Amino acid sequence: MLKATRISNNKQPKVSLVGKTALITGSNSGIGLACATLLPTLGVSHIILAVRSISKGNEAAASIRKKHIDLKIDVWELDMLSYPSIQAFAQRCSTLPRLDIAILNAGAGGGAISKINESTGHEEVFQINYLSTALLAILLIPVLKPKTTGQQPGRLTIVGSGMGLLSSFSNRDAVPLIPSFDVPFSGFVAAGERYSVSKTLVMMLVQKLSEAVSADNVIINTVEPGLTSGTELHRDVSGAGQLLMKVMKKAMSRTPEQAAWTYVDACAAKGKESHGGFVMFWEVSPFHQMMYTPEGKQTTERLWEETLAELEFAGVRQTLERPKAV
């Protein structure tokens, strides 16, 4: 996995995104900001920074405008801990003349002690990295659909991690499954496992979304950006865990600018062959090995059905049915 972070393995795919509109969540810093700064050089004409803090988003937008004075750039509020915020954001997106690319970059690394999201009752890393990401992804699918004949498929890229290949997923047999992620945990090892398994769940999500949505409408994938310095992903990690992350990042990390190219590769260079896939090392790569077993397939199906039930308040089943009819 560390191969993904090696400088010698960095690439800059040649793509044209002239005239396209793109949104990036978590884009006021780190890889999200680097990607928002990079996309205009490839032709993107309209960028939406989806951020929790409008003031920080405005600062990020100002830094981008200095480099791209003709770029249309909007800063929209999005709180991934709030279902109403996600719904309002998706509704706002539906008013756009077009949305070609959505990069769901916002995520949480979590700290050594689990936290419960008061508004939903779920553990925060699980909430942000999986449940809220699933809701936003589903609500954006109709917006990303081609609106005219001959228009290219929309692109939905969810940021994953190679750590998702390593999770033990010890609660995979829990019935029901979703509540089992709300059991309190503590310690660096447990926090690392929670982050890892949240990214395994993203793999399962992308697989199921690809079954529900045609690649002729929206190409959906997940991407591993590699260990990256200068991000806020591990801001809540402390003690020995914080020291370990500092050492690892110093020894083998990419810069945010280098990592941003992995997003470009997944959302523009890769085509329908990546639909429902995991892009790592610039290639479509296998998921967690457990997902190919009978037990893993059952877990994937159970997670999917529980997710649709959890998010039914937002009409996710009906939303998913719309692209299939096109």
The active-site residue, picked from 195, 208, 263, 270, is 195
Asked: is 15-118+144-251+269-324 a CATH 3.90.1150.10 domain? The reply is no
Cβ-contact 81, 128 below 8 angstroms: yes
Give me the residue label for tokens 């929790």: 52
User: Beta partners for 50?
Assistant: 25, 76
Q: What is the mean pLDDT of residues 15-32?
A: 98
Q: Give the model's confidence band at 232: pLDDT under 50 very low, under 70 low, under 90 confident, else very high.
A: low
pLDDT for 111: 87
Residue 247: its pLDDT value, please?
44
CA 252 centroid distance within chain:
23
pLDDT attached to residue 322: 75
Percent over 70 (pLDDT), the chain: 89
Asked whether the beta carbons of 32 and 5 are under 8 A apart, the reply is no
Closest CA to 189 of 122, 288, 114, 280: 114
Kindly state the average pLDDT of the residues 69-79. Answer: 98
Confidence (pLDDT) at 236:
52
Catalytic-residue membership of 67:
no
What pLDDT was estimated at residue 16? 98
Q: Edge-to-edge strand order for the sheet containing 277-280? A: 72-77, 46-51, 21-25, 101-104, 154-159, 218-223, 277-280, 283-285
Mean pLDDT score, 233-253: 49
Question: Is a pLDDT exceeding 50 seen at residue 325?
Answer: no
Rounded to an integer, the average pLDDT of 104-116 is: 94
Matching residue, tokens 């991407």: 223
Model confidence at 252, pLDDT cuts 50, 70, 90, reads low
Burial class for 170, CB neighbours closer than 10 Å (0-12, 13-18, 19+): exposed
Note the pLDDT of residue 230.
59
Residue 239 has pLDDT above 80, yes or no: no
**Residue 4 pLDDT:** 47
pLDDT tens figures, 132-173: 999 999 999 999 999 988 899 999 999 999 999 999 999 999
Taking only Cα atoms into account, the Rg of the chain, rounded to an integer number of angstroms, comes to 18
Express each pLDDT in 254-301 by its tens digit: 899 999 999 999 999 999 999 999 999 999 999 999 999 999 999 999
pLDDT band at 229 (very low <50, low <70, confident <90, very high): confident
DSSP class per residue in 12-60: ------TT-EEEEES-SSHHHHHHHHHGGGGT--EEEEEES-HHHHHHH
Greatest mean pLDDT among 109-113, 218-222, 318-322 lies in 218-222
Does the active-site annotation cover 199?
Answer: yes
Q: At what angle do helices 294-310 and 188-212 cross, to 10 degrees?
A: 80
Query: Judging by DSSP bridges, how do beta strands 277-280 and 283-285 pair with one another?
Result: antiparallel
Question: Mean of the per-residue pLDDT values for the chain?
Answer: 92
Q: Taking the C-alpha atoms of 224, 228, 232 and 238 in order, what is their torsion angle to the nearest 10 degrees?
A: 110
User: Is the model's pLDDT at 10 over the cut of 90?
Assistant: no
pLDDT of the residue at 326: 43
- CA dist list (Å): 35 to 29, 144, 198, 260: 10, 19, 23, 5
pLDDT of res. 254? 86
- Helix 54-67, helix 30-38: angle, nearest 10: 30
CA–CA distance, 211 with 204 (Å, rounded to integer):
11
Identify whether the C-beta of residue 7 lies closer than 8 Å to the C-beta of residue 1: no
Catalytic, out of 199, 208, 263, 270? 199
